[in-house]
Structure 1
Amino acid sequence: MSSSYPHLSLHVAGQWLSAASGGERPVINPADESVLATLPLAGPAELAVAAESAQRGFEQWRRVRPHDRYVILRRAAELLRERAGEIATVLTLEQGKPLAEAKREVTLSADIIDFQAEEGKRLYGRTVAPRVDGILSHTVQRVPVGPVAAFTPWNFPVNLPSRKLGSALAAGCSVVLKPAEETPGSAMLLVRCFLDAGVPAEAIQLVWGDPAQVSSFLIERPEIAKVSVTGSVAVGKLLGEQAARHVKRFTGELGGHAPVIVAEDMADGAGMGFVLKQSVTAKYRNAGQVCASPIRFYVPRAQLATFGERFAAASQKLQLGSGLDAATQMGPLAHARRIEDMERFVDDAVGQGARLLTGGHRVARPGFFFEPTVFAEAPLSSRVMQQEPFGPIAVIQPYDTLDGAIEQANALPYALGAYAFTRDLHTAHRLGEGIEAGMVGINHFGVSQPELPFGGHKESGLGQEQGAEGITHYTEVKTVTIGTPF
């Protein structure tokens, strides 16, 4: 057990529980495969109590004035910043990413909470003029939807819960949060920030357990009014179907397969150098375990060999190691299952004729390390060109015309993030309009900011998080019309 890692507990009905009826499981450090702690798991008994408590918490929290909610949430963000060092260390221990990335995640999460706290004061309605005599007013209001079941994965264990907690609480909702069992410590410390800031104890429930059991149980509970999930397309579809059967509001931030189009004017000389520097950094951030991570790089056919060679050479230079080591540029994958999936992606691509430029193997050391991997000219039928690898794998593909590149970029049913590089303003607008995605970054990869909506099109999701749009998904529209009594 690590002295830097917290003792783990559920938070149910205002109480911290270090044991529960669902049993327990170990939490593994992905950098060395040591056991960090033991996680208690909720069973049906705890989940039922959590849902009931969330209803009570909702009735209490919704009556708090929006400005007072704002003050409390701003304090939660301040506490998150004050505790950023401790929380980032825990995040790195359980998830693996370099400590600098973990600290950035924590501080960015505080910024998200700040922004949503501000938006909670701006849930404006409107007044509509009556058509006939005898009507005093028509008003259209936004009211909190009710208790929310929120499910988040392990790749950003502070950022993703912060999006949901910040928006839901700012709107006046209560939350039953089910983060990933692989990364519980940082989520628990995040919840403590909200509670210590003054959020009522029953307004936030924190549970872990068997994912399928927890999700189906909570979605079916009558207290739960909305479901918000960040995860794979397959999981999102399943939970969306369950929510639809109970006619419950649903937001899904699901997977992607982000293309990168390098226009001809950026495919050589200084332009190529700029693209490569930006692309290698973005590709291997969090070991590629990012839903908007760039995967398919489309470059002019004449520059394919040079671009691929330089991308592979830069990938080979990355320093792999524990996220706590300041020299580390890429940490381990989050768990052993990711290693196994990377190997399947590689075997399939090689078997179908893709050229492996570098990587492709597990690193021979303790921990879940996989080499930065680059393919060129992978067949469209290969798994890496059809499914999100969610790991340190990039594919370099040629194109002959810009229209052809846009067509290839849009060929998949996923449309979360997409990127392009060009010096030409006309081409930039052409790419921005032509690429199908919820977020398109031109000449940079920073599409996720607290002020901007985050969400995908097609099978990459429903609804948005962050930005002014994020909070609205935790509200219902209500019309109140008042007439004269005589």
Structure 2
Amino acid sequence: MSTYPELKLFIGGEWRKTPEDLPVLNPATEEELGRLPHARVSDLEDALGAAQDGFEIWRKTPPRTRSDIILKAAAIMRARQEEIAQSITAEHGKPLKQARLEVIRGAEFFEWDAAEAMRVYGRVIPSAPGTKIAVHHHPIGVVAAFSPWNFPMSQPARKIAGALASGCAIILKAAEETPAGAIHIVRAFEEAGLPKGVLNLVFGTPSEISEYLIPQPSVRLVALTGSTIVGRQLTALAAQSDTPVLMELGGHAPVIVCEDTDVKRAALSGAVRKMRNAGQVCTSPTRFFVHESIYDSFADTFTERAAATVVGNGIDDGVEMGPTANDRRVPVLTDLVEDAVAKGAELRTGGARRGNKGYFFEPTVLANVPDTAQIMQTEPFGPIAVLNPVRDLDEAIAKANSVPYGLAGYAFTNRADYIDRMIDGVEVGNFSINTLEASLPETPFGGVKSSGYGREGGTEGLESYLTKRNVWYSSEIA
């Protein structure tokens, strides 16, 4: 596509290619979009040196100036919404309408954190006469960040926004399968006047990049959005050098549907939201626990709407769901469905690959799935919904908490007592009632249990990128 950018690394304010590269494919057509250079050790060394130099400049840059540059870059991204969205749809497959919204969401992350850059307040602690005690905040240093492929623009935006607003420099390894979103972000910051070295972008073999960058003494924070398995690996690597981490990891979101709710509206909204981004969302509603008195009605409506989802190339008008983003997802999803059916689940619709070109998987609904099925413990990260009846709210909460993950959870009810019990009882970092929206730029986002630690967004979003220094001054020598 004419709007797809030339793929390069960005190190020390300069774009570069390398001899080693791999193709980036359109998941709807399997056609090659471009060749992505892979960083060598020498490139990573250069990126680290550039980030150290950039940090010394950026940490001394006034917060107002930092904010102005971030806002200017965000405005450039907004102005290029269509160009960036076309690139995202080409490399990821999501419908163009969803890609356009992702560009705006990414810009909003930058705009929120740009404002927060001027609100990194310390505090004065009351003390005795002749003594002053205060808490100061300082940028933590060079950040090594890793972003996933499911949201090519908004996921890198979270990491870059937090780091730059705090006064840190960052080396971002974005996803090799969907590199264009991050490249568009870097272009915008380059034009906005960001000093060289403050933002660096690399691609390559993930394990080689993490194993080189994370142990480096000048890397002061590791930030990842990714799977729990990878998060544990990077956390263990960071622990060897006592480097703090910010981890937004996998989820397996429950949806509790109580007997007092509007059954049709809950089912329709659940089916639509489940298929957004082909289910490749860490907060995607997946495990639906529905009160037995409304279960049949809910399951029928949900299945009918899921089956009616318009699947196709995201660039085409009217498409609601594109392909999965890579060829690895299709066999994984197939295995999960086959395992559930073999253990007694009812396949209500879908369950298989669609067509023989592109990485399309049918919108799928599994009903009455036993706890022994693998999908009850494994996040599908695809367009599969699980519907199970429950006797009461206690059972629903227990089943919601029965997995090691706790990123997002949802509920449909109008009863205040139910809401109170679920707020206290459901073990997640983000809990939404009568809506399937999990986060906004102004809200803190992150998980509990095996879904990670630390928060991005909201007033809490810059905390991981800052150190706290206690300053004690006495007017007399003790």
Specify if TM > 0.5. yes
Letter in 1 for 2:121: Y
Find out whether 1:179 has 2:169 as its counterpart: no
How far apart, in 2, do the equivalents of 1:151 and 1:25 lie? 19
The alignment partner of 2:289 has SS state of strand
Which residue does the alignment assign to 2:121? Answer: 124
Contact 2:22 2:36 in 1 (8 A): yes
> Paired residue for 2:50, among 32, 53, 61?
53
Find out whether 1:239 has 2:234 as its counterpart: yes
What are the equivalent positions in structure 2 for 1:4-153 lying under 5 Å apart? 4-20=3-19, 23-131=20-128, 134-135=130-131, 137-153=132-148
1:366 positional shift:
1.4
> Paired residue for 1:169, among 164, 168, 178?
164
What are the equivalent positions in structure 2 for 1:274-353 lying under 5 Å apart? 274-353=265-344
How far apart, in 1, do the equivalents of 2:337 and 2:398 lie? 25
How far apart, in 2, do the equivalents of 1:164 and 1:204 lie? 11
The alignment partner of 2:255 has SS state of strand
Which residue does the alignment assign to 1:398? Answer: 389
Find out whether 1:452 has 2:447 as its counterpart: no
Which residue does the alignment assign to 1:477? Answer: 468
Contact 1:54 1:223 in 2 (8 A): no
Higher mean C-alpha deviation, range 327-336 or range 194-203: 194-203
How far apart, in 1, do the equivalents of 2:75 and 2:2 lie? 25
1:306 positional shift:
2.7
- For each residue in 1:287-345, what CA deviation from the matched residue of structure 2 results, as whole angstroms up to 9, or x when unmatched? 00000000110112233333222211111111111111121000000000011111111
Contact 2:441 2:457 in 1 (8 A): yes
Contact 1:437 1:457 in 2 (8 A): yes
Which ranges in structure 1 are unaligned for 5 or more consecutive residues? Answer: none
How far apart, in 1, do the equivalents of 2:185 and 2:228 lie? 26
> Paired residue for 1:158, among 150, 153, 159?
153
1:205 positional shift:
0.7
1:19 positional shift:
2.1
Which residue does the alignment assign to 2:377? Answer: 386
The alignment partner of 1:58 has SS state of helix
How far apart, in 1, do the equivalents of 2:130 and 2:185 lie? 52
The alignment partner of 1:259 has SS state of strand
Letter in 2 for 1:42: A
How far apart, in 1, do the equivalents of 2:314 and 2:218 lie? 40
How far apart, in 1, do the equivalents of 2:476 and 2:408 lie? 54
- For each residue in 1:111-151, what CA deviation from the matched residue of structure 2 results, as whole angstroms up to 9, or x when unmatched? 111110111101100112334x553x222111000000000
How far apart, in 2, do the equivalents of 1:395 and 1:212 lie? 33
Letter in 1 for 2:102: E
What are the equivalent positions in structure 2 for 1:418-437 lying under 5 Å apart? 418-437=409-428
The alignment partner of 1:440 has SS state of strand
Letter in 1 for 2:205: D
How far apart, in 1, do the equivalents of 2:306 and 2:176 lie? 31
How far apart, in 2, do the equivalents of 1:326 and 1:222 lie? 50
The alignment partner of 2:331 has SS state of helix
The alignment partner of 2:136 has SS state of strand
1:3 positional shift:
2.4
Contact 1:52 1:223 in 2 (8 A): no
Contact 1:432 1:442 in 2 (8 A): no
Letter in 2 for 1:459: S
1:365 positional shift:
3.9
Letter in 1 for 2:190: L
The alignment partner of 2:325 has SS state of coil
How far apart, in 1, do the equivalents of 2:147 and 2:307 lie? 32
1:18 positional shift:
2.1
Identity rate, percent: 43
For normalisation by structure 1, the TM-score amounts to 0.96
Which residue does the alignment assign to 1:229? Answer: 224
Contact 2:264 2:298 in 1 (8 A): no
Q: What is the aligned-residue RMSD (CA, Å)?
A: 1.1
For normalisation by structure 2, the TM-score amounts to 0.98
